[in-house]
Chain A
Amino acid sequence: MPHRFPLNTDKAPNAVLEVILRLKVKDAMSKTIFSAKKNDNLRQIQHIMRDKGVTGIPILEDDRLIGMISVNDIISALDYGYINEPADNYMTKSLIVLEDDMPLSFAVSYFDKYPYRRFPVINKEKKFVGMISSRDVLSALLHELNNEITELENKLNNGRNDVPGSITREYSIQKFDFENAGKASFELKKILKGLNASRQVVRRASVASYELEINIAIHSNGGKMRFEIDESNIIIEAVDFGPGIEDVDLVVQEGYSTANEWIRSMGFGAGMGLSNTKRVADEFEIQSELGKGTHIKSIIYLGGRDEA
């Protein structure tokens, strides 16, 4: 084999090693599996493959895996004319399986070692629980690495520049990452609660921050949330890398929206985000340049609204 996967090498960073050891086979495997019984004939199994778009069918007997039929087995059956015979006589019985509690690194090394494109997965009680393909591994790894690296970046940026009496935090926000959008605002809320800010102030800052954070995820090519809290102000800034806004007066109007039905279906895009932010903030500034990006700064007074 020309390339071995660079697994567990001396050069691998700890964060990556940690991810492939922390992730288990069961976190990546597909649990929706189409199976057959040993008395089903190969024609029936071929139909399952065709209808469900899969290339390997596990043969089960009471939750136990007793064999596999692959596309190659079906092709041979068609070639040699035994397509109407039961799976029992033709299935592969000596199987290489993974256990669901094994770290994902085992799955990766199996793909290196064996020519198969998928492996059946069983649990401790030897019950069949799923299948894992290289696609499943790739998807789970990328997903976890994204989270891990975002967290590392945030750690790198935070806490270093704090001077006495002031707290600074910065978080990067990815485009369309609705799974993680809101985490930065959650951190801000925690900090403010720790500072014993009043309920109203925490709430207003949370609303401003969350709207701005969601805006970056929906409308921009990605960007950053930056918080700076000193003795008197909570400064919440949203900076993105484009595409920029043509008419900033228009976008702060309530009801103005460029969101599509997909975004609306997630409960966003009502055209209220910026007007909401403006309403809860004591100071609000927006600057934008087409092709460059947008910078929004909203300030909330730590001591509450000036009632004068």
Chain B
Amino acid sequence: MRPNVSISDVVAAVEGEMIFEGESNTVQWVVSSGLMSDILTTEEEEILLLSNLNTTQLVRTADMVGANAMMVTSGKPIPDDTVELAKELGITLIRTKYPVFEACHKLSRLFFKE
């Protein structure tokens, strides 16, 4: 059974910035990829989508797999239309300054009890 990790813990773990707070306030797992098709193969539920992409298609893909939240890495600027679509579809959008590799490590502590 996977833990319910709160979005606020996620934001804190990566010293992130909440761009838009959507409907869900927890996630159960992380999926990371820079390829949409790769994300679409996931069978996981209640996920946080981690990516160094910042386009509207990231939001569309998140919606298709029913992701609870998205995180854009490396402090990339997020275009207005991406933010707008996230709002329209009600999906949480977070940004972190860390690259994917570091962000994965920081987030992993939330999902595993050591």
Contacts and interface: CB of A to CB of B under 8 A. Distances in A.
Direct A/B contact, Cβ within 8 angstroms: yes
B57 interface: yes
Given A179-B81, A199-B66, A203-B66, A270 B38 contact: yes
B36 A186 contact: no
Given A203-B64, A207-B64, A207-B65, A179 B37 contact: no
Contacts of A203: 64-66
A267 B64 contact: no
A276 interface: yes
Contact of A179 (B33, B56, B58): B56
Interface in B18-60: 33-38, 40-41, 45, 51, 53, 55-58, 60
B61 interface: yes
Interface residues of A, number: 22
B63 interface: yes
B64 to A, nearest CB: 4
A185 B60 contact: yes
Contacts of B58: 267
Interface residues of B, number: 23
A272 B57 contact: no
A189 interface: yes
A214 B37 CA distance: 10
A207 B53 CA distance: 19
A182 B60 contact: yes
A274 B81 CA distance: 28
Interface string A161-192: 00000000000000000110110011001000
A229 to B, nearest CB: 17
A16 to B, nearest CB: 23
Interface of A: 178-179, 181-182, 185-186, 189, 199, 203, 206-207, 210-211, 214, 266-268, 270, 272-273, 276, 279
11 contacts: A178-B55, A182-B60, A189-B63, A199-B45, A206-B63, A266-B55, A267-B58, A267-B61, A268-B57, A270-B35, A270-B37
